[in-house]
Amino acid sequence: MQRSLENVRVLDFTRVLAGPYCTMLLADMGAEVIKIERPGAGDDTRHFGPFQNGESGYFVYLNRGKKSMALDLKNPHAITAIKELVKESDVVVENFRPGVMKKLGLDYESLKELNPSIIYTSISGFGQYGPYSQRPAYDLVAQAMGGMTSITGHPDDPPTRSGASLGDMSAALYAVYGIMVALFHRERTGEGQLIDVAMTDSIFALLENNVMRYTVDRIVPERIGSRHPISSPFDIFQAQDGHVVIAVANESLFEKLAEVMNQPELIKDKRFCLDSLRTKNETELKAIIETWLSGYTVAEAVEMISKGGIPCSPILTIRDVCEDEHTKAREMLIQVDHPMAGKMKIPGNPVKLSQTPAIIKEASPILGEHTGQVLKDVLKWDWKRLQDLEEQEV
């Protein structure tokens, strides 16, 4: 099977989540990702749970299909080796705090002297420039400073974090788009470049129409729970044993719903006879729907409502979605076999390419597993030189 990023070599200095997820997306498509890790401890996520036979599932998932070199960035010999590797690489990715790579002599200005066509990618909390660029950022900070938490949650609740690390994940996605754009450009022109992606910018970029409502109408969007801002009933509702989504955005769907509920009087009710009125009186309408739903389980309600031609769905827990037939059919959970951890199920790649599909077979590397091999294969360094380096590493 051909792989689209065959012969693309990525030198990967990233740690934890945003950077490793970005380079994972490159590895899935066949890039040779060489992960540079601290000797001894390695990437922090090697020590984050959940563990299986002492190996981190979090690390296995994010670092599948990569190579690991254990190199101490404080060791000048290691820096020499890295600079030689840069000459043989296509892409560099790092997610240190701005300034760290410069102190190591590994900033873009230094590395492009060695390889002018290198594509150098920095992922950080607030970016490489701008007034906050030196601030530390965790995902929670990026979600809060990017505007997302202010609009997530129920009206009476405090601002709410999204359940997953959107700051990291979105920065990774924007970065991989940037890297692919730069690789395409380089293929046509030979030119390399610097890419700067910030977690807060990435969160801001996800806000979509919330930004336009402010810049055009000066409305400051607030937390409205799960409901639709201008249609009702379009929300999450409580049934006997859980919650269901009902998505009614026009008059004909509302008529169908009233029929399913066996309450045709709702259609002519002055409070509910138009979408705009339903939205205005949405609290009352929600109470009526939930009273009706209290007589049914989620499964019963979803079947009845769907049968009536109204968009409706259950709310899947993480277990539900992992065990779902559709998730399996879409190959969204893939089994890998790790030499120490054993078999593990990890999330698949959501991009289904017909000719050059993502291939996820190899688990993550053991720390330093490929230090010698990469030096030998890529740099043709002889054993003596390799040993000198390794001694320094210890």
Q: Per CB under 8 A, does 1 bind a copy of itself?
A: no
354, 380, 384, 394: which one contacts a copy of itself (CB under 8 A)? 354
Q: How far is the CB of 200 from a copy of itself (least distance, A)?
A: 7
3-class secondary structure, 38:
coil
Residues 105-144 that bind a copy of itself (CB under 8 A): 108, 126-132, 135-136, 138, 140-141, 144
Count of residues engaged in binding a copy of itself, rule: CB under 8 A: 139
Residues 39-68 that bind a copy of itself (CB under 8 A): 48-52, 57-58, 60-61
Q: Per CB under 8 A, does 232 bind a copy of itself?
A: no
* Residues 377, 378, 384, 390, Cα dihedral to 10°: -100
From residue 192 to residue 231, the character string flagging contacts with a copy of itself as x (rule: CB under 8 A) and all else as - is xxxxxxx-xxx-xxxxxxxxxxxxxx-xxx-x-xx-x---
157, 251, 284, 382: which one contacts a copy of itself (CB under 8 A)? 157
For residue 240 the two structure tokens come to: 């006997």
Question: Rounded to the nearest 5°, which phi and psi values hold at 9?
Answer: -105, 130
| Cα–Cα distance, 54 to 45 (Å, whole number) | 12
Buried b (16+ CB within 10 A) or exposed e, 80-97: ebbbbbbeebbbbbbbbe
* Residues 372, 378, 384, 385, Cα dihedral to 10°: -100
75, 263, 281, 356: which one contacts a copy of itself (CB under 8 A)? 356
77 is catalytic: no
Q: How far is the CB of 34 from a copy of itself (least distance, A)?
A: 19
- Name, in order, each residue with C-beta under 8 angstroms of 364's C-beta and a sequence gap of 6 or more: 59, 60, 61, 62, 63, 64, 66, 68, 338
Q: Per CB under 8 A, does 12 bind a copy of itself?
A: no
Which residue among the candidates 77, 185, 228, 243 is catalytic per the annotation?
228
| Cα–Cα distance, 336 to 361 (Å, whole number) | 6
DSSP string covering 130-190 = STTTTS---HHHHHHHTTTGGGSS-TTSPP---SS-HHHHHHHHHHHHHHHHHHHHHHHH-
Q: How far is the CB of 384 from a copy of itself (least distance, A)?
A: 37
Closer of 184 and 383 to a copy of itself (Cβ): 184
- Residue 51's CB is within 10 A of a number of other CB atoms, namely 14
19, 39, 98, 146: which one contacts a copy of itself (CB under 8 A)? 146
10, 11, 25, 258: which one contacts a copy of itself (CB under 8 A)? 25
Taking alpha carbons only, the member of 217, 216, 229, 218 closest to residue 151 is 229
27, 33, 81, 166: which one contacts a copy of itself (CB under 8 A)? 166
Closer of 75 and 226 to a copy of itself (Cβ): 226
Q: How far is the CB of 88 from a copy of itself (least distance, A)?
A: 19
Q: Per CB under 8 A, does 152 bind a copy of itself?
A: yes
Residue 45 DSSP code: G
Active-site residues, by number, are: 228
